[in-house]
């Protein structure tokens, strides 16, 4: 089943949720070290990128970049959506695209990760509060 498809309505239902802590990006040749608990991994020809809690990276003495906050883009429940991944409007634009564009208009960059159930943003830690305000204004219309 298809849920809501109107971009303005989808954005109105947007509820950004900030995870506690700070997250960083680490790179490993081959595989993620045993015991590391990444929240995101990406396999690239140059190695594995893992997003982990900054405290964990520091405790393990790992090199890292981009201290960020993790914002999950939640929405109001839509029974008809059926957990549709990567929700798109009638033009095919992903909600994450519209959100990232709005943040960019305010000088805030983000790293977007599309999960099966939600889109996730990693925003530089020093822009976190401003990013949440922009997203809340976007949802308010």
pLDDT digits (tens, 9 = 90+) for 49-58: 999 999 999 9
Of 23, 29, 65, residue with least CA distance to 44: 29
Residue 140 pLDDT: 86
Q: Which CATH number fits domain 7-140: 3.30.2130.10, 3.30.70.260, 1.10.510.10, 2.60.40.10?
A: 3.30.2130.10
Cα distance between residue 99 and residue 116, in whole Å: 17
The tens digit of pLDDT for each residue in 85-135 reads 455 544 445 778 889 999 999 999 999 998 888 889 999 999 999 999 999
Query: pTM of the predicted model, to two decimals?
Result: 0.82
């Amino acid at each position: 089943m298809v849920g809501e498809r109107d971009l303005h309505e989808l954005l109105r239902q947007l509820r950004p949720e900030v995870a506690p802590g700070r997250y960083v990006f680490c790179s490993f040749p081959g595989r993620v070290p045993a015991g590391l608990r990444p929240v995101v991994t990406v396999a690239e020809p140059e190695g594995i990128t893992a997003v982990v809690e900054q405290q964990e990276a520091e405790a393990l003495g790992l090199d890292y970049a981009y201290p960020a906050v993790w914002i999950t883009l939640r929405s109001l429940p839509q029974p008809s959506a059926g957990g549709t991944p990567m929700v798109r409007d009638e033009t095919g634009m992903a909600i994450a695209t519209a959100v990232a564009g709005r943040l960019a208009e305010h000088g805030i960059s983000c790293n977007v990760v599309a999960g099966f159930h939600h889109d996730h943003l990693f925003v530089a830690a020093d822009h976190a509060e401003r990013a949440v305000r922009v997203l809340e204004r976007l949802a308010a219309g």
